[in-house]
Amino acid sequence: MKKFTLIGSGLVGSLLSIYLSKRGYKVSMYERRPDLRTNRISAGRSINLALSDRGWRGLEKVGIADEIRKVALPMKGRIMHDINSQLSYQPYGKEGQAIYSVSRGGLNCVLMDLAEKQGVEIFFNERCDGVDLKKGNAIFENFETQKKTEVHADYLFATDGAGSAARLQLQLSTDRFQYSQQYLEHGYKELSIPPTPDGDFAMDPTALHIWPRGSFMLIALPNMDKSFTCTLFFPFDGENSFNALDTEEKMMTFFTKMFPDAVSLMPTLKTDYFENPACSLGIIRCFPWSYEDKLLLVGDAAHAIVPFYGQGMNCGFEDCVVLDQLMDAHGEDWKTIFHEFEVSRKPDSDAIADLAVANFIEMRDKVGQKEFLLQKKIEAWFSTKYPEKWIPLYTMVTFSPDIRYSEALREGQRQESIMKKVMALDNIESKWDSEEVENLMLELLNG
């Protein structure tokens, strides 16, 4: 029987291993870290994630969506906190639509349990040191024993994330490998809001909270234990930056001024701020994603993105769904499967990479502006009247897994150019739901 080896048992690796073993293949997975299920998750990694429709579809196809739904918290919209602690609300979609806060570690543990139940063998503490592309071998070094193992596989899947060792091998050993790693000037740091003394959520747990402040922002997502995990997205350098806020006094003065209502809910702010690392935000693009029929990059290893559309994991799970469809279509013709995968997924992963960067500006700046909120209100109103003519961009990306990311990006750009004209109308704020606006939008849509 053909042997499949996966490098990395993170979210995408674990899910992909389930897809493969359900097809009857023999699958082994090698993971750099110790077993999450018996060791505490390492600090500094994002603790919760927003699962949405593309991700759910990936879980549903292997029958584990219901199990995850029990430990997922629906967030129906955004609650914006302004500098005077005034709140405003923007729904993400229609009634019944939500994104779901899930624990990264918890989800990963469930996926690994299920993988093992399906017969997947997982080896921990095995760091990939390189790949022999021609032979299809992966070289691992065990952290505890320092033993090196060269594992032969008929098919190697690199699910080892943004820092992929397999991708580095393609960079070093193949000609004309297109590759870029870009980093934002901002980094992120995780902070926390514990439950209230009487054991309840300290804020509304049915929304994602944002403190938009123009060039930076704080966000918070609810956890099952009734705490919130907050993330500060902040420049590394400059006047207001991680490097500038280097004493407790400077940091507290800044937070108290910028996030007054949040500070009062953060008893461990000082410890969190000074002990948790400031992590970088990178975008990885490359091509090709495969080496003959030996190796395929999947998930962040092929296309790491910034987290601002909440789509990193969802996109990786969608990779698994697309691969599964290609296995249906092409059986054991792995060269074709790998090639069709990279050719079809590349434009979509490039699109969500761009959308994610654009959404950072939306979240940290635009959601705090009246004009932007009005625009979104007009789009929602028009979309309700003409659901076939107008699906808001956020809805296409988040709640419409049948629309490809690349289509969503294109359609979103068309919508934006229409809305620019609508928002330029005199007194748009008073006539936003008028027949005039409706007719103009219909006309522009046909133009």
- CB nearer to its own copies: give 8 or 235: 235
Question: Among 328, 353, 356, which Cα is nearest to 341's?
Answer: 328
Measured CA to CA in angstroms, residue 292 lies from 137, 139, 155, 194, 358 at distances of 13, 19, 10, 50, 35
Count, residues near its own copies per rule CB under 8 A: 15
| Phi, psi (deg, nearest 5) at residue 212 | -80, 130
- CB nearer to its own copies: give 179 or 274: 179
Residue 181 beta carbon to its own copies: minimum distance, rounded to whole angstroms: 5
- CB nearer to its own copies: give 93 or 187: 187
Whether the Cβ atoms of residue 217 and residue 324 lie closer than 8 Å to each other: no
Among 143, 201, 236, 381, binds its own copies (CB under 8 A): 236
Backbone φ/ψ region at 341: left (φ over 0), alpha (ψ -120 to 50), beta = alpha
- Looking at residue 331, the DSSP 8-state letter turns out to be T
| Site membership for its own copies, residue 243 (CB under 8 A) | no
Task: Report CA torsion sign: 217, 229, 280, 276.
Answer: positive
Residue 354 beta carbon to its own copies: minimum distance, rounded to whole angstroms: 16
| Site membership for its own copies, residue 260 (CB under 8 A) | no
| Site membership for its own copies, residue 332 (CB under 8 A) | no
- Whole-number Å distance between alpha carbons of 130 and 142: 13
Please report, to the nearest 10 degrees, the dihedral formed by the alpha carbons of residues 6, 348, 378, 261 taken in order: 40
Determine which helix (DSSP H) or strand (DSSP E) holds 350, and give its type and residue range: helix 334-364
- CB nearer to its own copies: give 233 or 432: 233
Residue 283 beta carbon to its own copies: minimum distance, rounded to whole angstroms: 10
- CB nearer to its own copies: give 168 or 428: 168
Whether the Cβ atoms of residue 418 and residue 444 lie closer than 8 Å to each other: yes
Considering only residues 276-305, where is the footprint of its own copies by CB under 8 A? 280, 282
- CB nearer to its own copies: give 20 or 304: 304
Residue 379 beta carbon to its own copies: minimum distance, rounded to whole angstroms: 35
Residue 280 beta carbon to its own copies: minimum distance, rounded to whole angstroms: 5
**338-364 burial: b if 16+ Cβ within 10 Å, else e:** bbbbbeebbebbbbbbebbbbbbebbb
- CB nearer to its own copies: give 181 or 256: 181
Residue 179 beta carbon to its own copies: minimum distance, rounded to whole angstroms: 5
Residue 177 beta carbon to its own copies: minimum distance, rounded to whole angstroms: 7
| Site membership for its own copies, residue 145 (CB under 8 A) | no
Residue 170 beta carbon to its own copies: minimum distance, rounded to whole angstroms: 11
- CB nearer to its own copies: give 85 or 171: 171
Is the peptide bond prior to 288 cis by the omega test (within 30 degrees of 0)?
Answer: yes
Give the x/- contact pattern for its own copies in 148-187, rule: CB under 8 A: --------------------x--xx--xxxxxxxxx----
- Whole-number Å distance between alpha carbons of 50 and 229: 12
- Whole-number Å distance between alpha carbons of 150 and 171: 20
**Applying CB under 8 A, which residues contact its own copies?**
168, 171-172, 175-183, 236, 280, 282
